[in-house]
Amino acid sequence: MARVDSWPETKMLLLRELVATGLSYRKISETLMVSRNAVCGKVMRMGLANTRPKKPEDQEAKPRPRKRPPDRAKPPGHKPVNISFRHGLSIRPQPVKPIVDADIPVEQLKTIGELEDFHCRWPIGEPHLPTFRYCGAQRVAGPHPYCPLHMARARPSWRD
C-alpha cells in the first residue's frame, strides 16, 4: 500500500526556508503547527538535516572537564575502605568458610514436602533424581531463603 504524503507543497517549501535560516525544530513546529517529531522526520526524509547552519558555539571545540582535578590526587599509601552502612561500620568483610554440601548431616536434609517456613531452601543434588533434597538448616531471619552459610555462598557481600 502506497503511503500518501500529507504535507502540502507550500508547507514543504516553508520548511526548507525555516531549516535554512537555522531555526530550532521546536520553533519550526510551532510555525508550521505540526509536532516537533513530524518536523524532525520530514527534515531527515528530505535530506535537509545536514544543511542546517551550525551555531558559532557548536563549531568551537570545548575542552572536556577532567574527572579528578590534578591537585586532588590521592595521598601516598591510600587504601580504599569498604564501608557498609547497612550492617554498621566494617573494614573489609572477613571471608566465610564455604559450606560443602556433602558435610550436611543426612537427618538435616528435607524434601519439598518436609520444608517448613524456617528451613533453608538451598538445593542439594540433581532435581531430577529421587535423592534431591534441600539443606533444611535454620534460615536467616527476613526475606532470605537460605541459612547463613548458604547466604554467604549465594551472596558473598552478605554479612549476618
Which tens digits make up the pLDDT trace of 30-48?
A: 999 999 999 999 999 988 8
In a domain, 64, yes or no: no
In a domain, 72, yes or no: no
Half-sphere exposure of 112 (CA within 13 A, CB side): 5
Q: How confident is the model at residue 15 (pLDDT cuts 50, 70, 90)?
A: very high
In a domain, 81, yes or no: no
Over residues 86-106, the pLDDT tens digits come to 555 555 555 556 567 778 888
Q: What is the pTM of this model?
A: 0.39
In a domain, 87, yes or no: no
Residue of higher predicted confidence among 51 and 129? 129
In a domain, 84, yes or no: no
Question: 27: closest CA among 44, 13, 14?
Answer: 14
In a domain, 48, yes or no: yes
The set of residues, in sequence order, having a beta carbon less than 8 Å from that of 100 and lying 6+ positions away, is: none
Is the pLDDT reported for residue 145 higher than 80? yes
In a domain, 107, yes or no: yes
**Structural domain harbouring 105:** 97-160
Of 2-6, 106-110, 126-130, least confident by mean pLDDT is 2-6
As a whole number of angstroms, the distance between CA 40 and CA 24 comes to 10
In a domain, 86, yes or no: no
Q: Dihedral of CA 18/19/24/29: which sign?
A: positive
Task: Provide the domain count of the chain.
Answer: 2
